[in-house]
């Protein structure tokens, strides 16, 4: 991953282990994280990806100081999440897709109480709450009890609440889970806008690969508490040999020679459709055409498909 100095790191995780033990008198052990290590540079949007039960929430909860690890070390903004937990809490905030607040309180009151719990005096608190209501388009619903808000408004309120202390690190745990597509799009736009306008580090967990692809600078894939792979989405696709796919419709078996060209990772043919996997379609396509042209092969159709993080995940999960 990135070569950065410790001071440039927003998050540094080394060999994190966590096992949940439940039940009495017969204890059951459920390993949730096993030797997880990664770093997040400041200002990045970092995705923690994986299926349900992969350990994403456990990992983010440890970084948010809500959960203590069994082994390993985690530093957030240079502070130890166990020893300096209180100072970490002052500088981070958390929003989750499953957020919930007291049913009778209004968005205005929820934000006011959240701001008070960070010790913000009236002079800072009032304009901040008013600003957040405005900025997250909640002002019109400021006096509506929480349990009467729509799901989308609840989600926006959860996001707004995460800004009451102007955090340096924002932890978003499945921020769009269970939302309608249009609301999910708006939440993603909001996250992207935050990234553009502020030097804020965002740690995002999701099992929507499209969301991660759209937002994240770097990702790690988590499965059964272990990191399967990590890096920039583009690099990752190449690393797991999931290059761009180019499909030609042509006749004859001259396609076999395509496999020898530089940048070609794989080459197969079925019923006149030749599928070529290349490391970078934009770079290799002219050469592929030149090669076919030199051999007088007539191509009647061509399709280029870029791999998605989803396909990376499926590949990794095999």
Looking at beta carbons only, is 68 or 317 nearer to other proteins?
68
Q: Which residues bind other proteins (CB under 8 A)?
A: 20-21, 57-58, 61, 64-68, 86-87, 89-90, 92-94, 96, 98-105, 109, 112-114, 116-121, 123-125, 128, 131-132, 134-137, 145, 156, 158, 161, 163, 165-166, 186, 189-190, 193-194, 196-198
Looking at beta carbons only, is 157 or 297 nearer to other proteins?
157
Query: Distances from the Cα of 219 to the Cαs of 85, 140, 206, 259, 298, in angstroms?
Result: 25, 37, 10, 31, 41
318 by DSSP, 3-state: which?
Answer: coil
Minimum CB separation of residue 226 from other proteins in Å reads 19
Residue 230: strand pairing partners: 220
- Both tokens of 141, joined, read 């619903």
Which is nearest to 223 in space by CA: 54, 24, 35?
Answer: 54
State the DSSP H helix or E strand holding residue 309, giving kind and residue range, or none if neither.
helix 309-317
Looking at beta carbons only, is 21 or 256 nearer to other proteins?
21
Looking at beta carbons only, is 198 or 291 nearer to other proteins?
198
Minimum CB separation of residue 90 from other proteins in Å reads 4
Minimum CB separation of residue 77 from other proteins in Å reads 13
Looking at beta carbons only, is 2 or 117 nearer to other proteins?
117
Looking at beta carbons only, is 194 or 316 nearer to other proteins?
194
Minimum CB separation of residue 104 from other proteins in Å reads 4
Residue 301: strand pairing partners: 249
275 by DSSP, 3-state: which?
Answer: strand
- Strand bridging mode 9-22 / 28-41: antiparallel
Which is nearest to 33 in space by CA: 72, 75, 81?
Answer: 72
Minimum CB separation of residue 152 from other proteins in Å reads 11
* Distance separating alpha carbons of residues 15 and 34, to the nearest angstrom: 7
Minimum CB separation of residue 116 from other proteins in Å reads 4
């Amino acid at each position: 991953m990135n070569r950065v100095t410790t001071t440039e790191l927003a998050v540094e995780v080394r060999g994190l282990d966590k096992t949940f033990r439940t039940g009495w008198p017969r204890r059951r052990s459920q390993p949730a994280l096993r030797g997880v290590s990664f770093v997040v540079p400041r200002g990045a949007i970092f995705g923690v990806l994986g299926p349900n039960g992969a350990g994403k929430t456990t990992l983010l909860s440890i970084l948010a100081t809500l959960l203590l690890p069994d082994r390993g070390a985690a530093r957030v903004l240079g502070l130890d999440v166990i020893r300096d937990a209180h100072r970490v809490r002052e500088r981070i905030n958390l929003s989750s897709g499953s957020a919930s607040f007291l049913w009778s309180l209004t968005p205005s009151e929820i934000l006011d109480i959240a701001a008070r719990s960070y010790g913000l005096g009236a002079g800072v608190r009032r304009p901040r709450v008013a600003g957040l209501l405005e900025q997250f388009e909640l002002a019109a619903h400021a006096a509506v009890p929480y349990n009467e808000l729509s799901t989308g408004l609840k989600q926006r309120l959860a996001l707004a609440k995460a800004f009451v202390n102007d955090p340096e690190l924002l932890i978003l745990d499945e921020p769009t889970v269970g939302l309608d597509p249009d609301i999910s799009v708006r939440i993603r736009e909001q996250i992207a806008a935050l990234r553009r306008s502020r030097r804020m580090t965002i740690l995002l967990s999701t099992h929507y690969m499209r969301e991660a692809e759209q937002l994240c600078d770097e990702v790690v894939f988590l499965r059964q508490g272990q990191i399967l792979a990590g890096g920039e989405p583009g690099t990752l696709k190449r690393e797991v040999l999931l290059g761009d796919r180019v499909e030609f419709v042509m006749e004859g078996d001259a396609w076999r020679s395509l496999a020898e060209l530089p940048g070609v990772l794989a080459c197969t043919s079925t019923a006149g459709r030749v599928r070529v996997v290349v490391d970078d379609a934009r770079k290799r396509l002219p050469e592929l055409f030149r090669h076919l042209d030199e051999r007088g092969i007539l191509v009647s159709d061509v399709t280029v498909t870029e791999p998605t993080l989803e396909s990376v995940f499926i590949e990794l999960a095999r």
